[in-house]
Amino acid sequence: MALTGIQLRCPFADCEVMTITALTDLSSGDMVLTNDVVGICVQDTDTGDEAQMVTYAPKVLLTCAAQATSGFEAGEKVYMSGGLVTETASGATLCGTCLEATSAGDTTVLCQFDGRLGIVA
């Protein structure tokens, strides 16, 4: 299986995956909330087809919302909102922790991803 958009920094075998029916077209690397679980799409998937979603990854590089004044700190909780990782908890879903500090303006963040947390702040 060729992984394109998802940016794993660990072996795929170390991840946990669930299968969903795609409600819209998905691209590899898209983050989607399904019921109470956040998943990262493994491969491009058409609406109505089955999609494999990574629900846990020890290390994955995720696209983050623009950090206006500061970056993430190592150990900080990360949340998913609108398909992006953010440090803002309000209205977002907890999905892991930051593994390395980032700077303002960085577009990606290295995380321990756990989409099974399903906690909406």
pLDDT reported for residue 110: 96
Asked, for residue 121, whether it belongs to a domain, the answer is no
* Amino acid present at 38: V
| CA atoms in the 13 A half-sphere facing the CB of 25 | 2
Same domain? 22 vs 66: no
One domain for residues 47 and 86: no
Do both 79 and 107 map to the same domain? Answer: yes
Domains of the chain: total: 2
pLDDT at residue 114, as a whole number: 97
Question: Does residue 107 sit in the same domain as residue 65?
Answer: yes
Q: For the segment 52-81, what is each residue's pLDDT rounded down to a tens digit?
A: 999 999 999 999 887 656 789 999 999 999
What are the tens digits of pLDDT across the range 14-32? 999 999 999 999 999 999 9
Cβ–Cβ < 8 Å for 53, 18? yes
Q: What is the pTM of this model?
A: 0.91
Host domain of residue 92: 60-114
Residue 119 resides in a domain: no
CA angle 81, 86, 38 (to 5 degrees): 45
- Indicate if 46 and 67 belong to the same structural domain: no
